[in-house]
Amino acid sequence: MTTTSICCNPDRDGLVYCRELSDAGGRLYCGDEEVYVTPECRGVTDFLLADRALWQAGRIRINRADIRIKRAPIIGVPFAQALTAALSSGGKPQKSLFQVPDWTRYKGKAVVATLLAHTKEQGSFLEFEAWQFLDISDETFYVHAQIDKSLSFVLHVDAATQLHTAQERQRIAANGERIKGKQYTKHFRLDGQLSISVAENLMNLFFPAQPLTREFLNAIGVA
């Protein structure tokens, strides 16, 4: 995949500062060249564009081509549950696994996502990590955040996709161990004093799983 435009300066993760891009009529430009965000962070990009301060602070991955990925419907537990559990831990180390009840009924109808969240104290902040594993794919969606010990704001948040083997997933689930998988690709990053709600929105927009609403069940023929 060809990434970034020659007129933008990517960081070591291949991300460009949003402030280097211009928005015109719903299209993004780097200089005079139109560029496109990766499919994984389209929702994140729209969210950042709606807030000038966030846009100025953000970094995203861009492509020269408009690449689109068609995925089967993905169901999972809402990410907010994992973040709520982390914030309610009071800073104590915590590892939580979230899965849709009776998830086997949906196999063959939709991709089922398992969410693993891990929280630990790290110096002056709490480190929060979450992995979303898909049942029929090696692809893993991963977010990392640094939360101030006051639990009132987030200092940093970034997100990536990668491929993990079954053995690597077992190690991550058992120990909350961070393992850099194959085809590791970071998609966005923000640093600063972000509100908890902003960080939660960014992570929700990145993770592809959808909650089990009545409309969703009807769409996949399980209701």
Over residues 47-92, the pLDDT tens digits come to 999 999 999 999 999 999 998 887 777 888 878 888 888 888 766 7
Largest Cα–Cα distance in the chain?
51
Q: At residue 204, what is the residue type?
A: N
Q: Given this model, what pLDDT does residue 6 score?
A: 45
Q: Given this model, what pLDDT does residue 185 score?
A: 96
Instruction: Say whether pTM exceeds 0.85.
Output: yes
Q: Could you tell me how far CA 53 lies from the centroid of its own chain?
A: 20
Are the C-beta atoms of residues 203 and 79 closer than 8 Å to each other? yes
Q: For residue 192, name the pLDDT band (cuts at 50, 70, 90).
A: very high
Compute the distance between CA of residue 183 and CA of residue 195 in angstroms, rounded to an integer: 31
H helices present in the chain, as ranges:
42-49, 52-57, 79-87, 166-175, 196-206, 214-220
Q: Given this model, what pLDDT does residue 213 score?
A: 67
CA angle 38, 40, 46 (to 5 degrees): 80
Q: Given this model, what pLDDT does residue 61 score?
A: 95
Query: What average pLDDT does the segment 141-169 reach?
Result: 94
Q: For residue 23, what are its two tokens?
A: 């928005």
User: What are the strands of the beta sheet with 62-63, ordered from one edge?
Assistant: 22-24, 27-30, 33-37, 62-63
Nearest 5°: phi and psi at 185?
-135, 115
Are the C-beta atoms of residues 133 and 171 closer than 8 Å to each other? no
Residue 32, pLDDT > 50, answer yes
List residues bridging with 155 in a β-sheet: none
DSSP-based three-state secondary structure for 78: coil
List residues bridging with 74 in a β-sheet: 111
Nearest 5°: phi and psi at 67?
-90, 130
